[in-house]
Amino acid sequence: MIFIAPHIHEALENKKPVVALESTIISHGMPYPQNVATALSVEQEIINQGAVPATIGIIDGDAIIGMSHDQIEQFGKRQGISKVSRRDLPHIYATKSWGATTVAATMILAKQAGIEVFVTGGIGGVHRNAEVTMDISADLEELARTDVTVICAGAKAILDLPKTLQYLETKGVPVYGFQTKRLPAFYVRDSGLTLDYEINDEAEAARIIRTKRANNLHGGILITVPIPREFALDKTAMDYAIKTALDEADKFNIKGYEVTPFLLRRVGELTKGASLESNIALIKNNARIGARIAKELVLI
């Protein structure tokens, strides 16, 4: 049911730095062939830093830890791949289906494989109007329970960021800013929200991770990294695009798993592609930092 690619198994056995990557960005994040090109370029960023990338996805009911380039290509071309979170895993396994792992599912499988560091673009969170809809991403619950460190550019800007931070605090998830005390907002460097903790460099991040694990304080760690300044988008323009997309989602009664892909696609259209370029830049940046943290971890 879980297949760890030989090169990933060898890296883990020999205490080499390994970085997990999700597969939803391939099947649901971008059109082909840009999705495949992006996935492979993110892997290359990790390799360039001296770490080993492990893209995770489910093929014919088997969880693959360390997808090959051919498997990533198949993922990029194939239609109808299910978006998989914790609740979906038993069904996808039992029906021998294909599944793209969300943040939550990737955390579960990374933990089972023995991978501590996971890089993504942005996590899910508390959706706007969640007090009415109760729409809260399973990513947050997974961060509360699964021992994996997640490197991201904050929660997606389409979400209710203050409520997302509050939820994480309630669940005991430490949220760090990487060289910042302000929560990044995905496309925007500063959400306006202050964080309790700042990490100065990758070595400090590694020490915090090791300390949490050594003291049996279970659950994830969230390290948020601002998008590189040259790729950051204007906050006012982004707020307008997000509000427009949210109004359209409400008008067309788009709900559940379909909300985030719809909103990200519409924001991309409304920003004339600028948000997609920023998305690619921020995940590459996260990959570089995540790889360096993974390298520091194996030295401790």
Among this protein's residues, is 22 annotated catalytic? Answer: yes
Q: How far is CA 28 from the centre of its chain?
A: 13
pLDDT at position 177 is 98
- Distance, CA of 300 to CA of 264 (rounded, Å): 39
In order of start, what are the domains of the chain with their CATH numbers? 2-297 (3.40.1790.10)
* Length reported for the chain: 300
What predicted TM-score, i.e. pTM, was given to this entire model? 0.93
Catalytic one of 83, 111, 156, 295: 156
Tens-place pLDDT, residues 155-175 = 877 789 999 999 999 999 999
At 47-80, the pLDDT tens digits run 999 999 999 999 999 999 999 999 999 999 999 9
Mean pLDDT of the chain: 93
Query: Cα dihedral angle (292, 102, 194, 167), rounded to 10 degrees?
Result: -140
Report CA-CA distances (Å) from 224 to 100, 149, 186, 194: 23, 11, 9, 12
pLDDT digits (tens, 9 = 90+) for 77-123: 999 999 999 999 999 999 999 999 999 999 999 999 999 999 999 99
The answer to whether 152 touches 176, Cβ cutoff 8 Å, is no
| Distance from C-alpha of 38 to C-alpha of 91, rounded to nearest angstrom | 29
Q: What is the pLDDT of residue 207?
A: 98
Nearby residues of 55 by Cβ (< 8 Å), 6 or more positions away: 20, 21, 22, 23, 26, 39, 43, 66, 67, 72
Picking from 23-27, 52-56, 257-261, which range would have the lowest pLDDT averaged per residue?
257-261
What gap in Å lies between CA 280 and CA 247, rounded to an integer? 26
- pLDDT for residue 252: 86
Residue 210 has a pLDDT of 97
- Is residue 14's pLDDT more than 90? yes
Binned at pLDDT 50, 70 and 90, residue 257 comes out as low
Angstrom distance (rounded) from CA 19 to CA 16: 10
Contact partners, residue 134, CB within 8 Å, separation at least 6: none
CA dist 249 and 205 (Å) reads 38
* Catalytic site includes residue 156: yes
User: What is the three-state SS of the chain?
Assistant: CEEECHHHHHHHHCCCCEEEECCHHHHHHCCCCHHHHHHHHHHHHHHHCCCEEEEEEEECCEEEECCCHHHHHHHHHCCCCEEECHHHHHHHHHCCCCEEECHHHHHHHHHHHCCCEEECCCECCECCCHHHHCCECHHHHHHHHCCCEEEECCECCCCCHHHHHHHHHHCCCCEEEECCCECCECCECCCCCECCEEECCHHHHHHHHHHHHHCCCCCCEEEECCCCHHHCCCHHHHHHHHHHHHHHHHHCCCCHHHHHHHHHHHHHHHCCCHHHHHHHHHHHHHHHHHHHHHHHHCCC
Q: Identify the pLDDT of residue 16.
A: 98
